[in-house]
């Protein structure tokens, strides 16, 4: 756009206004013209100038942001055809964080996403000042500026946390180490302000809760993706411990807000997000979560079975059950000290979820994971487990429930060591082609039972029996089952590296051959 800047701005503004029209005859030529200008030097500086001018119609400004976002996707990368020059990008970066007073929420959200898109390409190498600029701006006394900066920081952190290259992950961990404490203090401050304003029935409490929720979302990403071992950070431990008390406080606040729909819904969203923090830490860092198992179980009871949680039936059940199921599935044997408490709660959960099949499926899933995780402990817990399972069979015809009851009875009765050495190994030696279904099922049994019902001394025998099932003359389904058996055995708490060393090289070669010959992406 090599012309006078004012004329160029006028032309772009006119095209944006026409492109906002509902008349296709006006809209289509304007869109074509905007598309032609995408590779012109100075075009994005004009768009920045237009969407920063709050006197212009909001639809036009929103479209200007959208055009800028599309340009970032197509032309911001250095290697892109018609890439935006480094000099122009430097000017644009400065302009994007020069003003945080956007009055329209929808446009503010799009601007935050726009900054995060640029950050994905440029932070930290070309844009090292981005996060320091945001952290400085968020200290403003202006309430609107505080909110817009937090919104931008949320999207930037979310984007940086999603990058998966090793260098990017290290950078995010370094960033987390420098900002975590500050963001935690922001969250605490905004939440305390909300509680104070709530007690005074001050209308400003909505803005304070919005900022507390944004701070919480930032903390969630930093906690889950910013630490290799979250439990080694005293700041993370403090945050996770505080979650339980804060959730109870917000439940109580929510009860006092009957009739105030907007703020009540925000409180519910805040509570659910607190439980998502726990679920994410549990999923990504199960061993870091072990110290919080008892607190989680106690909170789950409070969340579900006290008047404070009334009115949150479906959401609270699903969220808490996901957390409970994750605890059992991810942490495995570490849940044993708390298993009796967990099993005592499940009948109450079952009764409360009478009208929700999805919830009852989640309860059955929790039971399945519990039986698999506890192994020999099932013998001492069977007085609690069997009544829960049988309660479910009384009102649910799902075959999985019956299989679970039969499986638990069988689990308690079978001497797996003897069964493995006397029967299963023999079954695997039968090479008849029609026996492949049996070999696949035996591989499945070994994987799921070995971690909890097999003596450690028999592990080498398990490895020796599994490796032939990975060979090229086996059916692919058998090879996949055998690969999963190795995975489950290696993931087990009692895995002994020394026992596996002699099998390491052949296992690696055989697994690589499966990888090379498999066609399905899921298999690979």
What are the tokens at 251? Answer: 């439940």
Tokens of 152: 């931008």
Of 197-211, 265-279, 364-378, 406-420, the range with the lowest mean pLDDT is 364-378
Per-residue pLDDT, 417: 83
Q: What is the pLDDT of residues 293-325, one digit of tens each?
A: 878 877 776 776 666 665 554 455 555 656 666
Q: Higher pLDDT residue, 140 or 262?
A: 140
Segment 319-352, tens digit of pLDDT: 565 666 666 666 655 556 656 656 666 666 566 5
Angle at the Cα of 497 (from 492 to 501), degrees rounded to 5? Answer: 125
Cis peptide before 268 (omega within 30 of 0): no
Q: pLDDT tens across 459-510, in order?
A: 899 999 999 999 888 888 888 888 988 888 887 767 888 898 999 999 999 9
User: Does pLDDT of 204 surpass 60?
Assistant: yes
How far, in Å, are 125, 245, 333 from residue 237 at the CA level? 31, 14, 22
Q: What is the tens place of the pLDDT at every residue in 19-39?
A: 999 899 999 999 999 999 999
Q: Which range, of 196-200, 256-260, 270-274, averages the lowest pLDDT?
A: 256-260
Say how many residues make up the chain. Answer: 524
Q: Report pLDDT for 164.
A: 87
Mean pLDDT of 371-400: 54
Assess whether pLDDT exceeds 50 at residue 398. no
pLDDT of residue 313: 47
Residue bearing the bigger pLDDT, 408 or 34: 34
User: What pLDDT does 396 receive?
Assistant: 47
Residue 277, classified by CB atoms within 10 Å of its CB into exposed (0-12), middle (13-18) or buried (19+), is buried
The pLDDT assigned to 464 comes to 93
124 in Cβ contact with 87 (< 8 Å): no
| Mean pLDDT score of the chain | 83
Mean pLDDT of 44-62: 97
Evaluate if residue 214 carries a pLDDT over 80: yes
The pTM assigned to this predicted structure is: 0.72
For residue 520, the surrounding DSSP H or E stretch is none
């Amino acid at each position: 756009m090599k012309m006078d800047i004012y004329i160029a701005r006028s032309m772009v503004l006119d095209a944006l206004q026409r492109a906002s029209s509902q008349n296709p005859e006006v809209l289509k030529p304007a869109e074509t013209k905007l598309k032609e200008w995408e590779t012109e030097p100075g075009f994005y500086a004009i768009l920045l100038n237009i969407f920063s001018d709050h006197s212009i119609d909001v639809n036009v400004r929103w479209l200007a942001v959208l055009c800028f976002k599309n340009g970032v996707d197509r032309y911001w990368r250095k290697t892109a055809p018609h890439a935006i020059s480094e000099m122009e990008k430097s000017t644009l970066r400065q302009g994007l964080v020069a003003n945080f007073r956007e009055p329209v929420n929808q446009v503010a959200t799009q601007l935050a996403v726009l900054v995060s898109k640029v950050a994905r390409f440029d932070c930290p190498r070309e844009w090292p000042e981005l996060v320091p600029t945001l952290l400085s701006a968020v200290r403003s006394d202006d309430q609107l500026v505080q909110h817009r900066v937090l919104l931008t920081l949320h999207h930037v952190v979310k984007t940086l946390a999603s990058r998966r290259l090793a260098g990017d992950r290290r950078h995010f961990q370094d960033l987390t180490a420098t900002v975590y404490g500050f963001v935690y203090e922001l969250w605490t401050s905004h939440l305390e302000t909300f509680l104070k304003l709530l007690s005074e029935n001050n209308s400003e409490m909505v803005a304070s809760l919005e900022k507390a929720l944004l701070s919480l979302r930032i903390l969630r990403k930093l906690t889950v993706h910013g630490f290799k071992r979250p439990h080694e950070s005293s700041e993370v431990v403090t945050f996770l411990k505080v979650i339980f008390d804060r959730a109870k406080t917000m439940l109580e606040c929510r009860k006092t807000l009957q009739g105030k729909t907007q703020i009540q819904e925000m409180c519910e969203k805040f509570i659910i997000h607190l439980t998502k923090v726990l679920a994410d830490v549990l999923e990504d860092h199960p061993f870091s979560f072990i110290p919080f198992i008892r607190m989680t179980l106690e909170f789950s009871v409070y969340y579900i079975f006290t008047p404070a949680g009334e009115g949150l039936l479906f959401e609270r059940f699903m969220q808490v059950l996901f957390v409970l199921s994750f605890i059992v599935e991810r942490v495995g044997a570490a849940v044993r000290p708390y298993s009796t408490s967990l099993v005592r709660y499940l009948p109450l959960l079952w009764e409360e979820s009478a009208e929700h099949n999805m919830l009852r499926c989640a309860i059955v899933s929790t039971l399945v994971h519990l039986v698999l995780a506890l192994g020999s402990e099932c013998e001492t817990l069977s007085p609690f487990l069997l009544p829960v399972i049988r309660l479910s069979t009384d009102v649910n015809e799902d075959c999985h429930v019956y299989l679970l009851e039969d499986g638990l009875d069988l689990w308690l009765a079978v001497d797996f060591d003897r069964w493995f050495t006397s029967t299963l190994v023999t079954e695997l030696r039968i090479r008849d082609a029609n026996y492949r279904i049996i070999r696949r099922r035996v591989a499945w049994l070994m994987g799921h039972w070995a971690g909890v019902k097999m003596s450690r001394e028999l592990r080498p025998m398990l490895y020796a029996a599994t490796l032939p099932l990975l060979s090229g003359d086996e059916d692919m389904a058998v090879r996949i089952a055998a690969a999963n058996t190795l995975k489950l055995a290696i993931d087990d708490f009692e895995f002994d590296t020394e026992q596996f060393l002699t099998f390491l090289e052949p296992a690696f070669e055989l697994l690589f051959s499966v990888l090379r010959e498999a066609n399905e992406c899921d298999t690979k």
